[in-house]
């Protein structure tokens, strides 16, 4: 009984123990080693041998999975001598990466400029400004983050000496953050028992890095990627890859299976997770659960892990929460 209890404790909260005690660490030490949360209610009806977990990335200090990639890209810039206090970090971001850059740049004394589609949520823009980032608002009708990327490339081309442009869509440090962090963490936290990994595609860093590591650790793990089912969607942070610019770091060969999901299905699941599990997670996290449940419903036995990229508070102003 005691052993079983300790095993569960390690599985669910163990990683938090590795975070430094107060007074000992920097802000960056709080990034990663996020807990795995088991879904208990929305999984009812599945065989007892099938378990579904979400990795609680909102517990990172910037509130999202993107803290991992931003830290890796900033460290890479420093290592290569491309980023120092005479430079400005600049990138295109729909929100979470921007918050992570702004937070880490503030902590390290770097200037930070972000191109962001003008229709991004007001809370996000406010948070970026509070963290000291300069914002360039781009035309959302010109193609969302693709347009923001184009604007950044023009600015950097005009004054390359002034900027460090990590370019998260084409930077190997993005997926490597997950290859070195997210993947091994999931492996440890499931006591090497993960059978299926499910993640959405934005820059694709989370899926590519985690799937690549998990496949190396056990080639039998099934890796499932998913994307919105249409170009006009409400799954913030995810891309409809057949109509968007495909990120350079994307490796489609890592997916054993590819799923698509509609915005309404994700909204419904976000409401269910809040009411039935007490999990107030973001829309892409809810989409991950909906896809994970599709996979889980086909199994007799298995451990399915998805990612909760951010928390519901990033979407508080959205109206879908109040639908029944």
Contact residues: ligand PMP, CB under 6 A: 64, 66, 96, 200-207, 236-238, 282, 284, 309-310
Shortest separation between residue 2's beta carbon and ligand PMP, angstroms:
38
Between 205 and 302, name the residue whose CB sits nearer to ligand PMP: 205
Shortest separation between residue 159's beta carbon and ligand PMP, angstroms:
27
Between 11 and 167, name the residue whose CB sits nearer to ligand PMP: 167
Q: Respond yes or no: is residue 284 known to be catalytic.
A: yes
Shortest separation between residue 166's beta carbon and ligand PMP, angstroms:
13
Catalytic member of 64, 94, 225, 284: 284
d(CA 309, CA 296): 20
The three-class DSSP label of residue 222 is strand
Between 46 and 289, name the residue whose CB sits nearer to ligand PMP: 289
- Which two structure tokens, joined as six digits, stand for 224? 């499932």
SS3 assignment for 10-64: HHHCHHHHCCCCCCCCCHHHHCCCCCEEECCCCCCCCCCCEEEEEEEHHHCCCCE
For residue 138, the cross-strand partners are 117
- DSSP code string of 46-114: S-TTEEEEEEEGGGSTTSBTHHHHHHHHHHHHHHTT--STTSEEEEE-SSHHHHHHHHHHHHHT-EEEE
Between 50 and 290, name the residue whose CB sits nearer to ligand PMP: 290
Q: Element (H or E) spanning 2, and its range?
A: helix 2-12
Between 244 and 295, name the residue whose CB sits nearer to ligand PMP: 244
Q: Are 70 and 174 in contact (CB under 8 A)?
A: no
Residue nearest to ligand PMP (CB): 237
Q: Rounded to an integer, what is the distance from CA 273 to the centroid of its chain?
A: 18
Q: Respond yes or no: is residue 66 known to be catalytic.
A: yes
Catalytic member of 55, 66, 213, 239: 66
Between 287 and 299, name the residue whose CB sits nearer to ligand PMP: 287
Shortest separation between residue 45's beta carbon and ligand PMP, angstroms:
27
Shortest separation between residue 38's beta carbon and ligand PMP, angstroms:
21
d(CA 115, CA 117): 7
Q: Element (H or E) spanning 136, and its range?
A: strand 134-138
d(CA 20, CA 242): 43
Q: Give the CA count within 13 Å in the CB-facing half-sphere of 36.
A: 26
Shortest separation between residue 259's beta carbon and ligand PMP, angstroms:
15
Catalytic residues: 66, 284
């Amino acid at each position: 009984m005691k052993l079983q209890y300790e095993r569960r404790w390690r599985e669910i909260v163990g990683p938090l123990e590795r975070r430094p005690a107060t007074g000992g660490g920097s802000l960056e030490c709080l990034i990663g080693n996020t807990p795995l949360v088991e879904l208990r209610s929305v999984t009812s009806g599945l065989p007892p041998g099938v378990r579904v977990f979400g990795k609680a990335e909102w517990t990172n200090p910037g509130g999202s999975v993107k803290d991992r990639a931003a830290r890796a890209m900033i460290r890479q810039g420093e290592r290569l001598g491309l980023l120092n206090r005479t430079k400005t970090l600049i990138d295109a971001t729909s929100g979470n990466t921007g918050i992570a850059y702004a937070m880490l740049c503030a902590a390290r004394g770097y200037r930070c400029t972000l191109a962001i589609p003008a229709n991004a949520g007001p809370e996000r823009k406010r948070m970026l400004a509070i963290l000291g980032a300069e914002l360039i608002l781009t035309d959302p009708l010109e193609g969302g983050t693709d347009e923001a990327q184009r604007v950044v490339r023009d600015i950097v081309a005009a004054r390359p000496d002034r900027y460090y442009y990590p370019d998260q869509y084409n930077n190997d440090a993005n997926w490597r953050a997950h290859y070195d962090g997210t993947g091994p963490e999931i492996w440890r936290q499931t006591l090497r028992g993960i059978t299926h990994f499910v993640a959405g595609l934005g820059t694709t860093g989370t899926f590519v890095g985690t799937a690549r590591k998990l496949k190396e650790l056990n080639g039998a793990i099934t890796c499932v990627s998913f994307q919105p089912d249409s170009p006009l969607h409400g799954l913030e942070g995810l891309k409809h890859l057949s109509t968007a610019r495909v990120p350079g770091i994307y490796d489609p060969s890592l997916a054993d299976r590819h799923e698509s999901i509609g915005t309404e299905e994700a909204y419904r699941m976000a409401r269910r997770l809040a009411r039935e599990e007490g999990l107030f997670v973001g829309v892409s996290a809810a989409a991950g659960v909906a896809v994970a449940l599709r996979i889980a419903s086909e199994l007799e036995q298995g451990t399915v892990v998805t990612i909760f990229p951010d928390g519901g508070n990033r979407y508080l102003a959205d109206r879908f929460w109040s639908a029944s």
